[in-house]
């Protein structure tokens, strides 16, 4: 059972008190502007009280509600992995990039850099093409523009690659 009063009677009481405040200010000063300012001020303070009495807000107990660890562990890990990948993509320091790669590897996330492999659109994203006259190179990956990431064998993000393409005559 809630110990907070209902907001419906509070709205009526707030409006009634605002009218009394505005009328009293007008009668005491004889100036309509002072009465209007009193009315608006009382309405604003009444609205503030109503916001504090909102019933859809849980009552503050002082302690945060416990969250089951099993429900958040996977989400927290996924969020941290995605953040590390985001930072890794943007860091300019080779030392920091290496350290991030090591940290990701420690939790089972490895970089995917398939230079020299056959291009597979289900595992790679083509970012560009490089013309070649060597028929054995056509369809293989020439360079990795942005590494991909795999978490325990599950592809999180495909690598963006440049693929050798047959040179047009």
Concatenated DSSP letters for 78-137? HHHHHHHHHHHHH---HHHHHHHHHHHHHTTEEEE--TTSBP-TTT-EEEEEEEES-TTT
Number of domains in the chain: 2
Q: Is residue 62 part of a domain?
A: no
Going residue by residue through the chain (169 aa), what tens digit of pLDDT does each one get?
555 556 566 667 767 777 777 777 778 877 777 777 777 777 777 776 666 666 555 555 555 666 565 556 778 888 899 999 999 989 899 999 899 999 999 999 999 999 999 999 999 999 999 999 999 999 999 999 999 999 998 999 999 999 999 988 6
Residues of 111-121 as b/e, b for ≥16 C-beta within 10 angstroms?
Answer: bbebeeeebee
CA distance 168 to 116: 22
Residue 74, burial from CB neighbour count under 10 angstroms (0-12, 13-18, 19+): exposed
How many helices and strands in the chain, by DSSP H and E?
4, 6
Burial class (CB in 10 A: 0-12, 13-18, 19+), 49: middle
pTM for the model stands at 0.54
Please tell me whether residues 152 and 81 are part of one structural domain.
yes
pLDDT of residue 167: 86
Which tokens hold the place of 51?
């916001």
Question: Is residue 147 in a domain?
Answer: yes
Q: How far apart are CA 39 and CA 100, in angstroms?
A: 61
Q: What is the pLDDT of residue 85?
A: 92
42 and 80 in a single domain? The answer is no
C-alpha–C-alpha distance, residues 114 and 144, integer Å: 7
Q: Output the pLDDT for position 57.
A: 54
Domain that holds residue 155: 74-166
120 inside domain: yes
Same domain membership, residue 139 and residue 80:
yes
Does 48 lie in the same domain as 11? Answer: yes
């Amino acid at each position: 059972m809630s110990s907070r009063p209902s907001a419906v009677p509070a709205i009526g009481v707030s409006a009634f008190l605002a009218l009394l405040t505005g009328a009293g200010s007008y009668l005491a000063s004889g100036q309509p502007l002072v009465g209007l300012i009193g009315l608006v001020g009382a309405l604003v303070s009444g609205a503030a009280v109503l916001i504090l009495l909102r019933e859809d807000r849980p009552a503050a107990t002082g302690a945060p509600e416990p969250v089951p660890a099993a429900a958040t562990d996977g989400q927290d890990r996924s969020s941290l992995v995605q953040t590390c990948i985001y930072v890794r993509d943007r860091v300019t320091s080779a030392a920091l990039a290496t350290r991030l790669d090591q940290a990701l590897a420690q939790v089972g996330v490895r970089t995917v850099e398939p230079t020299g492999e056959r291009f597979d659109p289900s595992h790679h994203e083509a970012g560009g093409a490089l013309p070649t006259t060597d028929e054995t190179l056509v369809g293989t990956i020439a360079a990795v523009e942005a590494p991909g990431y795999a978490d325990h064998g599950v592809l999180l993000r495909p690598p963006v690659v440049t693929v050798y393409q047959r040179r047009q005559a």
